[in-house]
Amino acid sequence: MTMAGQGRGRRDRDRPGGSAVALDEAYDTALLDLDGVVYYAGGNAVPHAVEALGAARAGGMRLAYVTNNALRTPDVVAAHLTELGVPSEPADVITSAQAVARLIADEVPPGSRILLIGGEGLRVALRERGLVPVESADDDPVAVVQGYGGPELQWARFAEASYAVGRGLPWYASNTDRTIPGARGIAPGNGAAVEVVRMATGAEPRVAGKPLPPMHRETVLRTGARRPLVVGDRLDTDIEGAFNGEVDSLLVLTGVTDVAQLLAAVPEHRPTYVAADLRGLLTAQPGVTEVQGPEAQGMAGAFACGGWTASVGGGVLLLDGAGEDLDPLDGVRALCAAAWTEAGAGACGLDAGKALERLGLA
């Protein structure tokens, strides 16, 4: 266990890290995902999020909100957060629209026309970089950019993108998330729209959003973070993005990822820390230790955390612990160590059903 965690820069994570001090002390900036972390798809705050973020900010941690959704502008997102009780400024919000706009601006002259397939967030981001959004492939664009435009985005817009990409223009995408959560359920995301143009043209876009490096670059440039901690609920965007940026991450279990998926995670999807919710920012993180010597009691690859001991036997993840005050999350941490060590560079396929039942998480 270290002051700032064990995970910084590790490429071969085999167990959750530990921190001797609260995470809001160990890191100067939290790079927070929004959906499933701060608020739910319907717009309501996740339990404990408002209070935890307020305490972290009061303790001196900078809070930055990082989203792949390119539709809403930073002003709109900041206003929503403030309404929820999380005071925020537009400068606190970093979007994939901003990341892709910078990517394009680095490669074309100022004032260039860009065919926009998306919504207001992407339009504002292009203008911020001195680029001129246009609506037609016949408006002499030098590139095409595609971002989530909401359910009202017409099919004709995909055709317009296809015309331009088919002529050989560079094609950029804010992100390729295939789905986006909504109040009524899961809807097609920008990745689904990108797939339409890909099928029509056979081309491949340059992508900026999480988990790819342009998004991490954008967040660091805009926040000036020196010791950033990525906080998210998705393994394939938030946690993989932290892995690609070689920074530490905290997975909160308030969103799309459940414990079974966490146990099966491949190395690039393994977070440094895991917490039930954003209150994890305010606490130290217990380390996971390998059980050796007589205490192992014949168990190979046994790992302990907070009174729980996890191991592998007969193709099954096993969990042992006694006492009424044991924290189920410590059991999850021990199970992660056993599963990830067993899986190595792959995904763990061991049966964890009984172990999760014991923790009340099945």
Catalytic residue among 14, 24, 33, 248: 33
**Number of separate helices (H) and strands (E) present in the chain:** 12, 17
Q: Which of 177, 313, 219, 185 is nearest to 31 (CA)?
A: 219
Contact 112, 122 (CB under 8 A): no
Instruction: Tell me whether residue 35 is one of the annotated catalytic residues.
Output: yes
Which sign, positive or negative, has the C-alpha torsion 231, 234, 238, 243?
positive
Q: Which positions ≥6 away from 273 have C-beta within 8 Å?
A: 5, 7, 16, 17, 19, 23, 248, 249, 250, 251, 280, 285
Q: Which of 354, 293, 361 is nearest to 318 (CA)?
A: 354
State the number of CA atoms in the 13 A half-sphere of 39 facing the CB. 19
Instruction: Tell me whether residue 177 is one of the annotated catalytic residues.
Output: no
Contact 251, 257 (CB under 8 A): yes
Contact 56, 281 (CB under 8 A): yes
Q: Which of 283, 327, 275, 279 is nearest to 305 (CA)?
A: 327
Contact 308, 338 (CB under 8 A): no
Instruction: Give the helix/strand (H/E) hosting 261.
Output: helix 259-263
Catalytic residue among 35, 92, 177, 233: 35
Which residues participate in catalysis according to the annotation? 33, 35
